[in-house]
């Protein structure tokens, strides 16, 4: 009767099986890579001008592009101290997450207008400019959009 309650023999070599742990680590890595937002942002951190009237909701089926005019030069003491920097090379125009020159912006907008179809109102351009941006940089965007066939242009502002 004592044989029935005997404890099992202990295994002499105990080894850690790493394969399940490696599988779990790969699954976690895959989960975090797929869950992370790796897309480029269309919007930049800007200090927008103030407005009294909020923007109306846009109608469905309209494609909207976002263009940013932002200050890029970190060594510009005038801009860092709250002044109006007028140096044109310090102001960058960003469209679809990339910086472009005014002529390149026109080319990108012309391609987007062609992709939107024959209806000129099918594409809106939302221009987000820093409140201290020189109007010449914004005007270059407007002129490039007009030459590219983009006629619906909105200028973003923050609520007062």
Please state the pTM of the whole predicted model.
0.59
CA-nearest of 65, 53, 41 to 115 is 65
Which pLDDT does position 25 carry in this prediction?
94
The alpha carbon of 112 is separated from its chain's Cα centroid by a whole number of angstroms, namely 17
Q: What is the pLDDT along the chain (160 residues), one digit of tens a residue?
A: 556 777 777 767 767 788 889 999 999 999 888 887 665 555 566 666 666 555 555 556 667 788 888 887 767 887 777 777 877 778 888 888 788 887 788 888 888 888 877 776 678 888 888 878 888 888 888 888 888 888 788 887 777 6
Which pLDDT does position 23 carry in this prediction?
93
Which pLDDT does position 28 carry in this prediction?
94
CB 157 within 8 A of CB 129: no
Q: Enumerate residues 6+ apart whose C-beta is below 8 A from 121.
A: 62, 151, 152
For residue 3, CA distances in Å to 9, 11, 12, 131 come to: 13, 19, 22, 88
3-state secondary structure 108-144: HHHHHHHHHCCCHHHEEEEEEECCCCCHHHHHHHHHH
CA-nearest of 84, 102, 85 to 93 is 102
């Amino acid at each position: 009767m004592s044989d029935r309650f005997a404890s099992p023999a202990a295994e002499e070599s105990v080894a850690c099986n790493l394969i399940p742990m490696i599988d779990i680590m790969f699954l976690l890595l895959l989960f975090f890579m797929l869950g992370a937002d790796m897309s480029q942002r269309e919007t930049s951190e800007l200090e927008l001008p103030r407005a009294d009237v909020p923007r109306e909701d846009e109608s469905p089926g309209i494609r909207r592009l976002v263009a940013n005019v932002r200050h890029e030069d970190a060594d510009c003491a005038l801009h860092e101290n709250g002044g109006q920097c007028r140096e044109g090379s310090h102001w960058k125009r960003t469209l679809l997450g990339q910086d472009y020159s005014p002529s390149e912006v026109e080319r990108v907008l012309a391609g987007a207008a062609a992709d939107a179809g024959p209806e000129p109102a099918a594409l809106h351009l939302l221009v987000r400019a820093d409140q201290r941006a020189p109007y010449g940089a914004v005007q270059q965007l407007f002129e490039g959009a007009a030459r590219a066939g983009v006629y619906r242009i909105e200028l973003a502002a923050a609520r007062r």
